[in-house]
Amino acid sequence: MLTSVDRLLFVRQVPIFKELRDDFIVRLASVMDELSFPANYNIFQAGDEGRALYIVVSGRVKVHIGNQEMSVFPKGQSFGEMAVFDAQPRSASATTLETCECLELTQEQLYEAIEETPEIAVNIIGVLSRRIRELNEKINSVGESRG
C-alpha cells in the first residue's frame, strides 16, 4: 500500500501525467484504487469491456493476444487505455508476470480529468502513438526476417 505522499510522487512520474499541475495530480492520485494481483493473474481478457486503465506500481504485466506477447509494462507504465476511449471490447489480454500492485483509473475518472485538464488526453495520445510505432517496427522486423 502506498502512502498518500508516495502515491503522489509515483503518479507524478507516470508518462501520461507528466507536466500536469500538482494540485490536479493530488486529486487524481487520491481517487485511484490500488489493486493487488498474484503472479499469472489475468487482469483482463481480450473481448472484455474496458472501463479502466491501469498503472503498474510494482511488478510487471504482459499484454498479449493469445500466446503472442505484444508488450511488457514495468513499474510506472500504464496499460489498457485504448478500450477506455473507443468503447470497444479489449483487443488484448493483460496478465501479471509476477505479484503486482496497480492503480486503477476508471473511464469516468479519466473523462472528468480530461475535462478539467485536456493535456492528459494529449499525453495519452502520445503514449499510444509511440506504442503503435513500436508494434509497427516489431511487425516490420518479423516480416523482413521471414523474407
Beta-sheet pairing, 68-73 with 78-79:
unpaired
CA–CA gap between residue 105 and residue 16 (Å, rounded): 12
pTM: 0.85
Using one digit for the tens of pLDDT, what is the confidence trace for 135-147? 888 888 877 777 6
What lies within 8 Å, CB to CB, of 18 at 6+ separation is 12, 123
Q: Helices marked H in 1-147 — which ranges?
A: 4-13, 22-31, 81-86, 107-116, 119-146
Q: Each residue of 95-112: pLDDT tens digit?
A: 999 999 999 999 899 888
| 1 pLDDT above the threshold of 80 | no
| pLDDT tens-digit series, residues 33-86 | 999 999 999 999 999 998 899 999 999 999 999 999 989 999 999 999 887 888
pLDDT reported for residue 77: 93
Chain-wide mean pLDDT for the chain?
Answer: 89
4-37 residue pLDDT tens:
888 888 988 888 887 788 888 888 888 899 999 9
Task: Report the pLDDT value the prediction gives residue 147, as an integer from 0 to 100.
Answer: 61
Q: For 4-146, which CATH class?
A: mainly beta
**8-state DSSP, 40:** T
